[in-house]
Amino acid sequence: MSTKFTKDHEWVQATGSDAIVGITVHAQDALGDVVFVDLPDVGKTFAQGEVAGVVESVKAAADVFMPVSGEITEVNEALRADPSLANSDPLAAGWFFKVKLSDPLQLDTLLDAADYDKFAAES
Amino acid sequence: MAASDDSLPLQKTPLHALHVELGARMVPFAGYSMPVQYPAGLMAEHKHTRTAAGLFDISHMGQLRLVGPDAAAAFETLMPVDVVDLAPGKQRYGLLLNDAGGILDDLMFFNEGHDSLFVIVNGACKVADLAHIQARIGARCDVQPMPDHALLALQGPQAAATLARLSPGVERFVFMTGGAVQIGDKDVKIPAFVTRSGYTGEDGFEISVKADDAEALARLLLAQPEVQPIGLGARNSLRLEAGLCLYGHDIDETTTPVEASLNWAIQKVRRTGGARAGGFPGADKVLAQLAAAASGAAGIADHDTLKRRRVGLVALERIPVRDGTPLESFEGAAIGQVTSGLLGPTADRPIAMGYVATAYAEPGTRIQAIVRGKPVPMEVTTLPFVPTRYYRG
């Protein structure tokens, strides 16, 4: 199991062809208090880079981009009920959705933790 | 939030170093580097202001004096507002209009007595305002910018008790009054000009001081147990819950006072039939729109003269509806646009202000906002979204 990151500030944690997606610590910090998440429908398929959801804080709305192509298999209903989980526990309880990967090799195009931290610090 | 030309270097308020020391996230706003939030975060800052007392740096705003025996009469020619009859020691909300009745800026003015008006204008507009005022009435009074002054706001239900501890007597000022005071403790005494006013819907004060005294005053206020520093982010959510307009978003040069539902700011004396009716820029249009609004109240609405109005909106689903979102009737007709919107931290629901065609402006009317292509039902509502707590004695 490995965790990869996008330059759009999502994380994706894959086990075989299944993956969990969320937004990063840096992303939730930049957004501030998250008050609303718009999650995709289960069963819908997205290509890598497509907008799959929206996360809104009191001050701004931000798109959530699909880190890897695939089909949505589950969304985090707890996050829908309590959007502040994206702030309080972005890497675990605040996950956004689960994906059945259509091309697991896409994971290799993403950043590892060290490279992402460097990117986020500079951005 | 309106920002001005970002090619110019940002100015700093006298409290800039203190903001950085307090861990603020600084952003460009109105040509200044301003704190958008402190480490507590927007939500906590908003709630602190509604329950205790918040300290805001609003030194980016413009302060000026209009001085001379003809100053009030001259200033009255620029606004649809009663300036001449405002008693010494009292403050009022005013609107600078262009010749088409559009709003150049909204402002507060205070009669200091001795033929002197103290005026506070928006930061992003202050250069243009000064030029406009100077050009139109500079021959009739002395227009004195006050760039060596800072402006702080102390807002919240505990603001009066806090400030009275440092300046006994200020608790006796009622909403929209004020005067010159000393603020301090056994170590410091700071001369200041306070008004019991603000832009959060809460009881509170705006405090004008010499720039050199601003940091000492801010530190003294922050040392009080009820007081926390509050950034522009929470200022924006507080003012929207209070139903107050943000210049550049909810009102601008293309909106008139009547379209903006600011009729209450036009006193009877300046209206048709009043002792000093008209005589302000765009008067023909604004007075015709006032008549149209009155006919609407009588059930014979004149929608040609008054095509749109600013309204309060609540979303009937828990989805924030933001600035720029298109508004439609349920039949799909385009009827307007949101100008401010967010999930109100105290209201605890999505709230917005925007302009709709006059036929849709009645409270209780249902319309829909198109958020990312999806319709979200909304209801037109009265303002404010959170009851105001101004101290009226």
Tell me what ipTM this predicted complex has.
0.77
Average the pLDDT over B324-346 and give the result. 97
* CB-based contact, A35 to chain B, within 8 Å: yes
Q: Which amino acid is at B38?
A: Y
- Residue B45 to residue B34: CA distance in whole angstroms: 16
Q: Do B319 and A61 touch (CB under 8 A)?
A: no
Spans in chain A with pLDDT lower than 70: 1
Statement: residue B4 has pLDDT above 50: no
Distance from CA of B371 to the nearest CA of A (A): 11
**Cα A117 vs. chain centroid, distance in angstroms?**
16
Which chain A residues touch B48 with a CB distance below 8 Å? none
The reply to whether A114 falls in a domain is: no
Statement: residue B344 has pLDDT above 70: yes
- Helices B211-222, B159-166: axis angle to 10 degrees equals 120
Q: Which amino acid is at B168?
A: P
Domain residues for the domain of A80 are 2-103
Which chain A residues touch B41 with a CB distance below 8 Å? 32-33
The reply to whether A123 falls in a domain is: no
Nearest by CB to residue B42, choosing from A32, A36, A54, is A32
Q: Do A58 and B42 touch (CB under 8 A)?
A: yes
pLDDT band at B369, cuts 50/70/90? very high
Average the pLDDT over B34-55 and give the result. 96
Determine the 3-state secondary structure of B388 from DSSP.
Answer: coil
Statement: residue B1 has pLDDT above 70: no
Statement: residue B392 has pLDDT above 70: yes
- Quote the pLDDT of residue B299: 72
Nearest by CB to residue B343, choosing from A32, A35, A54, is A35
What share of chain B in percent tops pLDDT 70?
Answer: 98
Which chain A residues touch B237 with a CB distance below 8 Å? 58-59
Domain harbouring A28, CATH code = 2.40.50.100
The reply to whether A88 falls in a domain is: yes
The reply to whether A21 falls in a domain is: yes
**Cα A105 vs. chain centroid, distance in angstroms?**
18
Q: Do A58 and B233 touch (CB under 8 A)?
A: yes
Bridge partners of B350, per DSSP, are B343
Q: Do A33 and B36 touch (CB under 8 A)?
A: no
DSSP-assigned letter for residue B234: H
Which chain B residues touch A38 with a CB distance below 8 Å? 319, 372
CA distances from B377 to A37, B138, B313, B370, B371 (A): 18, 50, 10, 9, 10
Q: Do B320 and A59 touch (CB under 8 A)?
A: no
Q: Closest chain B residue to A53 measured between Cα atoms?
A: B372
Determine the 3-state secondary structure of B263 from DSSP.
Answer: helix
> What do you get for the CA distance between the two ends of chain A, in Å?
27
- Residue B271 to residue B279: CA distance in whole angstroms: 10
Model-wide pTM > 0.90? yes
* CB-based contact, A33 to chain B, within 8 Å: yes
- Residue B82 to residue B95: CA distance in whole angstroms: 11
Task: State how beta strands B142-145 and B32-37 pair.
Answer: unpaired
Among the ranges given (A99-108, B32-41, B297-306), the one the predictor scored with the smallest mean pLDDT: B297-306
Residues B210/B248, Cβ–Cβ less than 8 Å: no
- Residue B115 to residue A121: CA distance in whole angstroms: 56
DSSP-assigned letter for residue A59: S
Which chain B residues touch A80 with a CB distance below 8 Å? none
Q: Closest chain A residue to B46 measured between Cα atoms?
A: A58
**Is the torsion defined by CA of A89, A92, A98, A100 positive or negative?**
positive
Within 10 angstroms of residue B85's Cβ, the number of other Cβ atoms is 14
- Residue B205 to residue B194: CA distance in whole angstroms: 6
Average the pLDDT over B192-199 and give the result. 98
Distance from CA of B139 to the nearest CA of A (A): 44
* Among B359, B266, B366, B270, residue whose Cα is nearest residue B313: B366
Statement: residue B2 has pLDDT above 60: no
Distance from CA of B41 to the nearest CA of A (A): 7
- Quote the pLDDT of residue B7: 63
Q: How many domains does chain A have?
A: 1
- Quote the pLDDT of residue B6: 54
Number of CB pairs < 8 Å for A and B? 36
Determine the 3-state secondary structure of B132 from DSSP.
Answer: helix
* Among A45, A50, A56, residue whose Cα is nearest residue A80: A56
Which chain B residues touch A57 with a CB distance below 8 Å? 42
Within 10 angstroms of residue B279's Cβ, the number of other Cβ atoms is 10
Task: State how beta strands B32-37 and B11-12 pair.
Answer: parallel
Residues B376/B319, Cβ–Cβ less than 8 Å: yes
* Among B133, B132, B83, residue whose Cα is nearest residue B109: B83
> Which helix (H) or strand (E) element contains residue A104?
none
Tell me: the pLDDT tens digits for B128-151?
Answer: 999 999 999 999 999 999 999 999
The reply to whether A122 falls in a domain is: no
Q: Closest chain B residue to A35 measured between Cα atoms?
A: B343
- Residue B34 to residue B20: CA distance in whole angstroms: 10
Residues of B with CB under 8 A from a CB of A: 36-37, 41-43, 46, 233, 236-237, 318-320, 322, 342-343, 345, 372
- Quote the pLDDT of residue B3: 42
Distance from CA of A103 to the nearest CA of B (A): 28
Alpha helices in chain B (DSSP H): 16-21, 42-51, 71-76, 126-137, 159-166, 211-222, 232-241, 283-297
Average the pLDDT over B227-243 and give the result. 97
How many helices (H) and strands (E) would you count in chain B? 8, 20
Statement: residue B28 has pLDDT above 70: yes
pLDDT band at B302, cuts 50/70/90? confident
Tell me: the pLDDT tens digits for B309-328?
Answer: 999 999 999 999 999 999 99
The reply to whether A52 falls in a domain is: yes
Statement: residue B187 has pLDDT above 60: yes
Which chain A residues touch B320 with a CB distance below 8 Å? 35-36, 56, 61
The reply to whether A111 falls in a domain is: no
Statement: residue B121 has pLDDT above 50: yes
Distance from CA of B374 to the nearest CA of A (A): 11
The reply to whether A8 falls in a domain is: yes
Statement: residue B300 has pLDDT above 90: no
- Quote the pLDDT of residue A19: 96
